[in-house]
Amino acid sequence: MKPVQPDVVSPPQVSTSAARTDLASPTAQLQLGDKTVQLPIVVGTENDRAVDISHLREHSGFITLDEGYANTGACCSSISYVDGDKGILRYRGIPIEQLAEHSTFVETAWFLIYGELPTADQLRNFRRLLTEHEMLHEGLHNMFNGFPQHAPPMATLSAMINACSCYHPDILAPEDRSTFESAAARLISKVRTIAAASYKTSIGHPIVYPNPKLSYCENFLHMMFTIPNQPYEPDEQIVRALNLLLILHADHEQNCSTSTVRMVASSGANLFASCAAGVCALWGPLHGGANVAVIETLDMLHKSKIDPKDYIAKVKDKSSGIRLMGFGHRVYKYYDPRAQILRAVADKLLSTLKINDPLLDIARRLEEIALQDSYFKDRHLYPNVDFYSGIVMRAMGLPVNMFTVLFAIGRTPGWVAHWKEVRDNVHKRIDRPRQVYIGHTLRDYIPVEMR
């Protein structure tokens, strides 16, 4: 995997980005004017192939330009594998379908972070650590009083995760294994306590303390739904659905929020600061915020009785500026396997709980129409993880403004695993992209009275 050094060439005369990769040889050749630059080819364990351009500028004066990073590998990683053409997702080699069926969120979290399925002892110890760290410092609790009641829970979540840095200075540089384990467990445990507390604050209810006797998912539901003098008894089906939902969201290689976490981590920032940044990146409607946008769309279609066919026609009309939320993906050009699982879960959960949600019918209809339409077929637009997740969360009784927060709880182990991978990389350098400057060329300052 270690790339060989490219041959040194003199600076090129003309600009061209035409690269030719010869997959039979260990290098690619890039023709820049009359100069040829040899570039190493890096091959991953699943035969992903990349042209290593890390020394290109040094040897040629050129950089590469790839806005949105659609074609840029930012790192080598061994955490999750996605084959977007075949609709494959694996965590540490294990297909997502197997983990969804057999694992729990806590086990999957440990697996993602440490790379192997935990032994019974390791799992017990991790559970113990999660329970040990489930409480928030009272100083953090008091901070909830400072947020306006209707503060978006994603804003609160990010601020509070970052604020954890103030209360746990002993684990800000978790270099040794036990300190890291403690920091990772604190974050994964507290993110759920913070999330539930931000919801309680947003509805003006008293914050519910965690109950150490409950499992990770039961405890979250308890903190969300217990009200004074009215304990909440979590339904077994809902607990299982929550486990599954969190497993499906736990990692997804170099997505926007994970890349953000890695970038912040590359500067040496601590785990809490890096993951707080991840929450901010996840919030956007083109990323984790899409699960809210999907439900809002379905709800709007239901209330206004707009025919899904007419809505799809509107989406196809580019002048409308409307996208079918929960559809399309940068990497998947086939059905997102997580969407496939969630579609089945939505069907099963709603029928078990005897819920008749008209939004599920509308979603199915939209999907059916879109998948037969050449606009979507030609662009390889399929349902992504967010298309059915909101319907599952609604059935679990979770409010819409918590949907992206749930995504963040699920994604936290993935962020932790990536933070660790960055920290453990002995060749790590700070992430610092370059740019092609297109602003003014040299000009002089003009005093204000002369402007």
Tokens of 287: 């990323």
From the candidates 52, 251, 336, 386, give the one annotated as an active-site residue. Answer: 386
Residue type, 7: D
- 381 near ligand ACO, judged by CB under 6 A: yes
Q: Considering beta carbons, is residue 69 or 233 the nearer one to ligand ACO?
A: 69
Nearest residue to ligand ACO, using CB? 328
Give the x-and-dash track for 11-40 against ligand ACO (CB under 6 A): ------------------------------
Q: Considering beta carbons, is residue 128 or 379 the nearer one to ligand ACO?
A: 379
Residue 332 CB, nearest approach to ligand ACO (Å): 8
Tokens of 298: 């379905």
Q: Read out DSSP for 263-316?
A: HHHHTT--HHHHHHHHHHHHHSTTTTTHHHHHHHHHHHHHHHT--HHHHHHHHH
Q: Is the CB of residue 133 less than 8 Å from the CB of residue 187?
A: no
- How many Å apart are CA 67 and CA 214, to the nearest integer? 46
Residue 328 CB, nearest approach to ligand ACO (Å): 2
Q: Is the CB of residue 17 less than 8 Å from the CB of residue 64?
A: yes
- 393 near ligand ACO, judged by CB under 6 A: no
- 384 near ligand ACO, judged by CB under 6 A: yes
430: left (phi over 0), alpha (psi -120 to 50) or beta: beta
Burial status of residue 233 (CB atoms within 10 A of its CB: 0-12, 13-18, 19 or more): exposed
- Positions 157 through 196 that interact with ligand ACO (CB under 6 A): none
Q: Is the CB of residue 160 less than 8 Å from the CB of residue 140?
A: yes
Residue 338 CB, nearest approach to ligand ACO (Å): 9
Of 110-118, 265-273, 297-305, 323-331, the segment contacting ligand ACO by CB under 6 A is 323-331
Residue 260 CB, nearest approach to ligand ACO (Å): 12
Residue 329 CB, nearest approach to ligand ACO (Å): 5
- Positions 246 through 285 that interact with ligand ACO (CB under 6 A): 255
Q: At what angle do helices 358-372 and 290-304 cross, to 10 degrees?
A: 100
- 385 near ligand ACO, judged by CB under 6 A: yes
Q: Considering beta carbons, is residue 60 or 384 the nearer one to ligand ACO?
A: 384
- How many Å apart are CA 186 and CA 164, to the nearest integer? 9
Closest CA to 88 of 34, 119, 46: 46
Q: Considering beta carbons, is residue 278 or 328 the nearer one to ligand ACO?
A: 328
Q: Considering beta carbons, is residue 118 or 383 the nearer one to ligand ACO?
A: 383
Q: Is the CB of residue 253 less than 8 Å from the CB of residue 411?
A: no
Q: Is the CB of residue 120 less than 8 Å from the CB of residue 127?
A: no
- Positions 40 through 69 that interact with ligand ACO (CB under 6 A): 68
Residue 330 CB, nearest approach to ligand ACO (Å): 4
Q: Considering beta carbons, is residue 317 or 361 the nearer one to ligand ACO?
A: 317
With vertex at residue 71, the alpha carbon angle to CA 68 and CA 73, rounded to the nearest 5 degrees, is: 100
- Positions 325 through 364 that interact with ligand ACO (CB under 6 A): 325-330
Residue 411 CB, nearest approach to ligand ACO (Å): 9
329 labelled catalytic: yes
- How many Å apart are CA 358 and CA 49, to the nearest integer? 45
From the candidates 59, 222, 252, 329, give the one annotated as an active-site residue. Answer: 329
- Estimate the share of the chain in helix, then strand, then coil, as percent rounded to the nearest 5: 55, 10, 40
- 245 near ligand ACO, judged by CB under 6 A: no
Q: Considering beta carbons, is residue 104 or 254 the nearer one to ligand ACO?
A: 254
- Positions 284 through 303 that interact with ligand ACO (CB under 6 A): 286-288, 290
Number of residues that bind ligand ACO (CB under 6 A): 20
The residue ranges that bind ligand ACO (CB under 6 A) are 68, 255, 286-288, 290, 315, 323-330, 379, 381, 384-386
Q: Which active-site residues does the annotation give?
A: 329, 386
